[in-house]
Structure 1
Amino acid sequence: MSTELGVRSAVVVAPPVVDRKVRQRRSWLPALLRTVVGRSAAIVVLLAVWEAAPRLGLVDRTFLPPLSEVLRAWWGLLDGGRLGENARASLVRSFSGFGLAVGIGVPLGLLIGWYRPLAELLSPLLELFRNTAALALLPVFVLVLGIGETSKIAIVLYACLWPILLNTISAVRTVDPTLLRLARSLDLSPLRLFQKVILPASVPVVFTGIRLAGAVSILVLVAAEMVGAKAGLGYLINASQYNFAIPQMYAGILTISVIGVAFNQLLLAIERRLTAWRPGPPTS
């Protein structure tokens, strides 16, 4: 009899696993829905206004067609292969210049930030070039390097280099002095100090520059492709404007926006992975 009561009490006390999982699912589903709705509400409103304003006559639909027409034009460009061809050309140029800027800017910024004499030597030159807009030098790049791929990759490289370089220099110089004193008290060599303290502490600020450069790489390239290019999203937008194919023009602009957001989210995910030790995740 006592054994039977013990079994019954065990059955009663033991929490059902299925019910616990259901409760957990119910607890995070509303939070997830609130996050998705909160992040997408403004975009949904913008798209709804874009669709409704031309149809209600609030704006001239000749110059701002409804979103549905733009999406049909976008699908036509994608189905015909033009969108993929031009997007591919832009992405190759943009990623090439951006990758070269990261490969040059991060090591050079770490070096300049770490060695004060080198920083003092190069400071006037850095101030001169950082205040010279990349698009202002576009004619110079075209004259020197021609209208081919080299000039477009070079202008992206130049535009992306400065956010990465300057943020990297700032990251090294603004490392918490307490960390440096603690590391020096452990008799770490300068190389170990750089590897174990300076470099990890600099990653968040360095990635801020990299994310800024990611946005710049696309914007500057689109402007460069409007001059002497035969492929690319900038060329597609410019040609559509000249041919008065306004829905196709907006389709190209929409494609650039989506690529920019996707690229930023990719960089943000990499940043989160590399700075997982930090107490709070970076914000987009």
Structure 2
Amino acid sequence: MVITDDPSDLAVVVSDDRVPSRGARPWAVPLRIAAAVFRRTVAIAALLVAWEVLPRAGVVDRVFLPPFSEVIDKWWELFLDGDILAHTKASMKRTGAGFALAVAIGLPLGLVIGWFPRLAEILNPLLELFRNTAALALLPVFVLILGLGESSKIGIVTYACVWPILLNTVSGVRTVDPLLIKSAKSMGLSSPRLFQKVILPASVPTIFTGIRLAGAFAIVVLIAAELVGAKAGLGYLINYAQSNFAIQEMYAGIITISVIGVGINQLLLAVERRFSRWRATPGS
């Protein structure tokens, strides 16, 4: 019985062909799992304790930073009323649409650019220009062209997300170990098979780094976009609460965004592990 070395995976791997030795202590594995859970949660727990204690002790003004328990009470109230779910649903629809479009555009385009060096040389100046143009700086342009409706919000999310996906895909394809390519060519693999069996699998870690960055960008950019002309969404909720000095509601919206961001990242990590099973892991 062993523990996987991946710090994001606390699963216990049981091997049928391994029999525990006589001196094995039955409580060793649960203890190691508890220690791993503690290491992963201690920083967040300390933050929440400080959030609860400091306002109550008068170190910070509780008018502007209410105790964590009061914020959670307000969040639960919004949940029971259905408000937080309605705003979350509106934001997730926009985020999902923009993120999916970015993957559909950035991934195949990055594979093509990375596979053809001459095309990369031609397009690189243009890519550098656009990737260094902040998405939020172009928000007025999207609003002017697409209006204040859903199209502008989805468009700005797509623009923000496509660049990390595109550039990391290009980098992943172009930085594959040359020894792998030489070995594959020596075995007589054609170019399409070489791309399918060697280039693409070896690029997966770098590609998913870009996809995870895009997931984070999608939330940040969308919240900013929802401050302009939105009638629903977590960004609208936060802005409305701040304007009406409903501080607890404002923090409830912020917490919801943080939880969604963590959830999206963990989901993408799980998908990455699913597509990276071919890689050997220590202790396996």
Q: Same fold (TM over 0.5)?
A: yes
Look up the match of 1:137: 138
Alignment of 1:51-130 (within 5 A): 51-130=52-131
Alignment of 1:216-231 (within 5 A): 216-231=217-232
Partner SS state of residue 27, structure 2: helix
AA aligned to 2:196 is Q
- Partner Cα distance (1:173, 1:77) in 2: 49
1:158-179 alpha-carbon deviations (Å, 9 max, x no partner): 0000000000000000000000
Moved over 6 A (4+): none
- Partner Cα distance (2:25, 2:133) in 1: 55
- Partner Cα distance (2:243, 2:136) in 1: 22
- Partner Cα distance (1:136, 1:24) in 2: 59
AA aligned to 2:270 is A
- Partner Cα distance (1:192, 1:161) in 2: 27
Look up the match of 2:234: 233
Partner SS state of residue 229, structure 1: coil
Partner SS state of residue 187, structure 1: coil
Partner SS state of residue 63, structure 2: coil
Unaligned runs of 5+ in 2: 1-19
AA aligned to 1:148 is G
1:95-130 alpha-carbon deviations (Å, 9 max, x no partner): 110011111111000000001121122111101101
TM-score normalised to structure 2 length: 0.90
- Partner Cα distance (2:281, 2:173) in 1: 21
AA aligned to 2:123 is L
Shift of 1:25: 5.1
Unaligned runs of 5+ in 1: 1-18
- Partner Cα distance (1:168, 1:138) in 2: 25
- Count of paired positions: 262
Q: Does 1:200 align with 2:201?
A: yes
Q: Does 1:277 align with 2:278?
A: yes
Shift of 1:24: 7.0
Shift of 1:27: 2.5
Please provide the CA RMSD for this pair. 1.5
- Partner Cα distance (1:192, 1:48) in 2: 55
- Partner Cα distance (1:95, 1:215) in 2: 12
TM-score normalised to structure 1 length: 0.90
Identity value in percent: 63
- Partner Cα distance (1:28, 1:237) in 2: 44
Look up the match of 2:148: 147
Look up the match of 1:11: none
Structure whose alpha-carbon radius of gyration is higher? 1
- Partner Cα distance (1:66, 1:260) in 2: 22
Partner SS state of residue 36, structure 1: helix
